[in-house]
């Protein structure tokens, strides 16, 4: 049977320019199956367009933490959040909050589980420098993931920093971020390669792909639209320095 490739993207965060660059790279590689691990909206200026694009081109879309809480924020919660909430149509808000929280695949004899942040919740963060207990917890069946076969490969997003870790025969990886990378200022995504729905051993591959693009048009558009938190957003896109670590924003 031929090997199939699946593209995994995450954390587009309203950055349509970065998404278009990644999707063009995916298409150039002849990959026609895409799984999105969530956080379509917030931080960037074009969440509405990103939602429509991903709903059209992605085979599976998973709910992230921003997708989960942003549509429910009230005007009293935060003026900044309201800006990103109101950029979305009502049907898009309903679509985001109705997305699944986890998705399982069988590839080349490996049970692969995908979610946004952790096996517990899209709001529970597991960083690259995690503890042994946090690593173990990523492979557990929980009320969020359901009780399918225990995974030997787990992929997630949320932390905006790509990595691959193999320990005890299990693989944990992060796909990084398309629209707001914080490890280096270049969008990343992951390509899985293998034989889908094959229960027996077969070749399996995992590749992190980086796709450069011009950040300035997206920053300029955000300024034209009056997007809040523009300065820290621009610094993040240009340098990958998280806004909480930017000197002028430290308390």
SS3 for 37-55, per residue? Answer: CCCCCCCCCCHHHHHHHHH
CATH number at residue 233: 3.60.21.10
> Is residue 163 within 8 Å of residue 174, measured between CB atoms?
yes
Q: Give the residue numbers spanning the domain of 142.
A: 4-249
> Is residue 201 within 8 Å of residue 108, measured between CB atoms?
yes
Task: Provide the whole-model pTM.
Answer: 0.96
Quick: pLDDT tens for 99-155. 999 999 999 999 999 999 999 999 999 999 999 999 999 999 999 999 999 999 999
Average pLDDT (61-78) is 88
Q: If you average pLDDT over every residue of the chain, what do you get?
A: 95
Beta-carbon count within 10 A of 94 CB: 11
- pLDDT score for 144: 98
> Tokens at residue 60, please?
């599976």
Average pLDDT (49-58) is 98
- pLDDT score for 251: 44
Domain count, the chain: 1
Quick: pLDDT tens for 224-241. 999 999 999 999 999 999
Phi, psi angle pair for 165, to nearest 5°: -135, 130
**Nearest residue to 116 via CA among 70, 177, 165, 166:** 177
- pLDDT score for 249: 64
Quick: pLDDT tens for 160-192. 999 999 999 999 999 999 999 999 999 999 999
Residue with tokens 């009230």: 74
Beta-carbon count within 10 A of 100 CB: 14
């Amino acid at each position: 049977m031929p090997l199939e490739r699946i593209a995994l993207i995450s954390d587009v965060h309203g950055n349509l320019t970065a998404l278009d660059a990644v999707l063009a790279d995916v298409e150039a590689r002849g990959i026609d199956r895409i799984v999105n691990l969530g956080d379509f909206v917030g931080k960037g200026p074009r969440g509405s367009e990103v939602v429509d694009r991903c709903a059209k081109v992605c085979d599976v879309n998973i709910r992230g933490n921003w997708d989960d809480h942003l549509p429910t924020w009230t005007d009293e919660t935060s003026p900044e959040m309201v800006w990103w909430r109101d950029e979305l149509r009502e049907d898009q808000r309903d679509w985001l909050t109705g997305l699944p929280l986890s998705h399982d695949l069988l590839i080349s004899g490996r049970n692969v589980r995908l979610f946004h942040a952790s096996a517990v919740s899209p709001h529970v963060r597991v960083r690259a420098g995690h503890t042994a207990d946090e690593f173990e917890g990523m492979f557990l069946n929980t009320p969020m993931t359901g009780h399918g076969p225990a995974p030997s490969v787990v992929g997630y997003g949320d932390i905006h920093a790509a990595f691959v870790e193999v320990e005890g025969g299990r693989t944990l990886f992060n796909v990084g971020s398309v629209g707001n990378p914080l490890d280096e200022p270049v969008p990343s995504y992951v390509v899985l390669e293998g034989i889908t729905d094959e229960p027996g051993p077969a070749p399996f591959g995992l590749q992190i792909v980086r796709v450069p693009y011009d950040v300035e048009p997206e920053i300029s558009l955000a300024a034209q639209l009056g997007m809040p938190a523009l300065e820290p957003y621009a610094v993040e896109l240009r340098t990958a320095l998280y806004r909480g670590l930017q000197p002028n924003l430290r308390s």
